[in-house]
Every structure is written in structure tokens, then in C-alpha cells.
Amino acid sequence: MKIKWFNLLVSVSLLLTAAVPMAGGVAASAASTVAPFLKIGPQAVPVDVTADASPDQVLFTCQLGEIPGVICYDPFQMRHAYGIDNLISAGFTGAGRTIVIVDAFQSPTLESDLDTFDGNYGLPDRSTFFTQVAPDGLTPFDSTDPNQVGWSQEITLDVEWAHAIAPGAKIVLDLAKTNDDADILSATKYAVTKHLGDVISQSFGENESCVDPTLLKNEHALFVQATLKHITLLASSGDEGAAQQTCDENSWVQAASSPASDPLVTAVGGTELHAADYCLTTLGCDPTANPAPGTYEDEIAWNEFDSISTGGGFSVLYRSPLFQHLVTRSKQRGVPDVAYNAAVYHGVLVAYDGDWWLFGGTSCGSPQWAGIVAIADQKAHRSLGFINWALYLYSLSPTKYASLFHDVTSGNNSVTELDASNNPVSVTGFDATTGWDATTGLGSPFADKLVSFLTKYTSDQDSKQVITDSTPSPVSGSSRHHFLDPH
């Protein structure tokens, strides 16, 4: 099974004017792969105006409220929505820190796409921050393989948006030769043993019960090693709500995703962010009577079309870690821990293969949270490492909790998916409620306040109990050749 593309789940819309090859959902032979559930679109349509405050910035119709139901956000809007702009204005950009992004295969257009993205938003030039490594060799790109095309889209999203949030941080793109579990683990091992960076982003996953038990044990041991090196681990929680594919890939069950379910990992779920559009005088809008672009309005749990939704649920492999005991009220590890915008029709703008697109999925959250952690590392003058203890520290104090997180209390992650015979399979999920829940975790960040909090309340002692008490107990009979899909 392939680590599911919980990330670039972007749907086709009426704005779609050109087709990008999609990673399909048709099962391949058991010995090969299943293509990730990745859809891309709609294509962003530029507007013949420039932003009043930034004459060189191209704007798109989806940023101006011109087409109902199709909303998109650029880096300035996302930063403002979550308070990241306050950190950047104060000089905290992630400078002196490094984000490692683990992905598979490659993106042959990444450098030109990154140049386009950076140029439009005035971000530092690629030559100043970006490095790519392929420790086991770079797989030649096959544009006819939907699996490889899907991963190229994932790579582009990850790099562009980690850079957008932490423009001063270095980025190392660490490429596995395939999305086979063993190859992903090998690339991750290289990042950890070589200590390539301060934070690792993983925008992929699969049904945790389908991971080979020996590989799962080795992965957890590697995460222990990373944690002891003060490397923060992040992973997207999934794009099919509470559902994951069965290990034979023929149907769907309620399950949590690996690697997000590992207690040493901070699991990132998805929301639908509602934030202010651009208001331009050239289009007859009065900026003095409207909020600034990206001003936060509200959020709901991400669930579009009842089929693409924030991953979340409870692990069958890991017991509830101590930091979650009083919050989840479960004996099992709950995911996600935190959340971030993941909606397709409130998506982020991505420059890919010569065009601009809306991308969604929980893959949007992992690299952007990695950017927030890099900023926190810079402010703290150290690598924070394991952050889950600190994230949950104020979760039982309503006033203090509300100062750090947007509590998402509306929506659910119940979904209906199609099995191998195209029959609908409904999987009941979980409701977003007050406090932590198995849809959006603790919620999305007030990043400026959360960064300051993390610099004060993380310590080397935080991970010790979790390391001691978090050995996985794999389900028997699940050993097979597996692949990871991007989230």
C-alpha cells in the first residue's frame, strides 16, 4: 500500500482550463502500487490588476471573491491569518535553521516553479536556501506514470509553502528513490543520521495496520534517534477523513495513518479556513471599510464532498501517551495533534509546471507547521525537538488554551469512499468539539503567541517518558510490500 496522498487533494472546477496529469485511484497489481488519491485543480486565473501594496504581485480571481465557492490564499494571507506576519516583521524568519522535507521520486520542474513562486511573492532566491539530496539515487522522471506525477506535485507544494512561512530557513529536499515504505524509511534515516536539519516534514501516510511490523519497529527506533537529536518530527494526518484503505486496497476501514500516529510525531490535521479576500480600489472596493487580506474569520473541520476530509482517529498500535491522557480520554493514541488549512476550495496557491493552481489536503499543513517550528527554533536559539508535551500543556486551561489555538468546533471527518468494485463504503468519523478532537486536534495556531510559548516551555525532559512508553504493538498478518502516498 502506498502512503496516501493526503496532500494535494485538489478537485476539478469550472475554472479548470488545462489538464494536469493526475495521480489516479485505480488499483494496480498487488506487487506494484496503488496510485495516490491526488486530484489537482482548479487552475488559478490571474486578474489584470496588481495588489495596491505590492505592484509586482500577480493576483488571481479566487483571491478577490469574484467566483463564489472558489477561494485561494497566497503567503501574505496565510501569514496574516495565523499571526506569522507578526513574527516575520519582528525578524523571526527561521534564519539559521533548516527544514528537511522527505518526499519520493522527483519534480523536474521544481526549480523553475520555485523561481516563479518566489518571484511573485518577493521571497529569497532559490540559490540562497535550497538543497536537494537523493541518498539512494534519483529515479529518472516518467511523465506517463501518474504516481510519479503525483509526487512531483507533492514536492512542489511542500517546498514552496515551507519557504513561504519561514523565508529565512534553509530547506533540504530529501528524496527517496520510490514511495516504497522501505525507500522512504531509508531517505528518512539519511536525514536523521546526517542531522540534515532541525525539523522534518512528512506529507504522506498509510493505514498504520498495513505497515510491515519490522519496518514499523525500525521507523519508531529512528524517530527515537531523531528526538534525542532534538529534531522535530511532523506528519500529515490524512485526506480521507477517519478512513484508510484496507491492506488489500479493496475497501475502506476506520483507521489512523502512519507515521502520524507515532507519539513522537506531531500529527497535522486539516481545516477549512475562512479569511479575508483582497480589497482593491481599482475594482471598486474600499480597503478602509474592509479587513486586511488574510484577516482570520473562522474555521471548520475540513470535509469537502464527504470524501476528502481531515484524517483523524485513534491508533491501534500505540497507547495513549501521557501528554494526551486527560485530553483524549482514550487508552489509545489520538490523531491529529494540531491542524492547519487544508481545504481545496479554500486552497493555497502553488506554481506548478508553468501554471498556478489551488492545492489542498493535509499536506499543506505539515510543511507550514515545519516553517513555524523553524521560526520557533530561531527565536529560542536552539532546536526545540519534541514539542507535543508543550502543545498539550495548556489544553485543560480554557483561557490559556484559547490564547494559543483557534479551537475548531464545527464539522466532522465522516466520509464515503468507493471500494475496488466502485461500491460506496461509508466510514463514520468524529465530530469537531470544544478542545481536542480526532478531527482537528487542538486546533490551528495563533503562531506568534504559540512560538513564544514553545520557546519557554519545551525541554529535554519532555520526550523521555514518551520514548520509554511508546513502543508499537503491530497487528499480526499485515506484512506485505507497501508504498506511501502523499497526503
Let me know if residue 243 belongs to a domain: yes
Q: Would you give per-residue pLDDT tens digits along the chain (487 residues)? A: 444 444 444 333 333 333 333 333 333 333 323 223 344 668 999 987 655 555 578 999 999 988 889 999 999 999 999 999 999 999 999 999 999 999 999 999 999 999 999 999 999 999 999 999 999 999 999 999 999 999 999 999 999 999 999 999 999 999 999 999 999 999 999 999 999 999 999 999 999 999 999 999 999 999 999 999 999 999 999 999 999 999 999 999 999 999 999 999 999 999 999 999 999 988 889 999 999 999 999 999 999 999 999 999 999 999 999 999 889 989 999 999 999 999 999 999 999 999 999 999 999 999 999 999 999 999 999 999 999 999 999 988 999 999 999 999 999 999 999 999 999 999 999 999 999 999 999 999 999 999 999 999 999 889 988 998 888 986 544 444 456 677 7
* Residue-number span of the structural domain to which 192 is assigned: 46-472
Amino acid at 110: L
Let me know if residue 15 belongs to a domain: no
From CA 218, how far away is CA 319, in angstroms rounded? Answer: 18
Do residues 244 and 312 touch, judged by C-beta distance below 8 A?
no
From CA 266, how far away is CA 337, in angstroms rounded? Answer: 6
Let me know if residue 35 belongs to a domain: no
- Which helix H or strand E contains 199, and what residues bound it? strand 199-202
What CATH code is carried by the domain that includes residue 302?
A: 3.40.50.200
For residue 297, give the 3-state DSSP assignment: strand
Cα dihedral across residues 387, 124, 47, 283: positive or negative: positive
Question: Domain tally for the chain?
Answer: 1
From CA 98, how far away is CA 200, in angstroms rounded? Answer: 9
Let me know if residue 217 belongs to a domain: yes
pLDDT reported for residue 7: 41
pLDDT reported for residue 40: 64
Q: What is the pTM of this model?
A: 0.92
Kindly tell me the burial class for residue 200, based on how many C-beta atoms sit within 10 Å of its own C-beta (0-12, 13-18, 19 or more).
buried
pLDDT reported for residue 28: 32
Do residues 238 and 4 touch, judged by C-beta distance below 8 A?
yes
pLDDT reported for residue 443: 98
What residues are paired with 352 via a beta bridge?
Answer: 355
Cα dihedral across residues 36, 238, 195, 471: positive or negative: negative
pLDDT reported for residue 471: 87
pLDDT reported for residue 448: 98
Let me know if residue 348 belongs to a domain: yes
Cα dihedral across residues 74, 77, 80, 81: positive or negative: negative
Let me know if residue 12 belongs to a domain: no
pLDDT reported for residue 53: 52
Let me know if residue 16 belongs to a domain: no
Let me know if residue 482 belongs to a domain: no
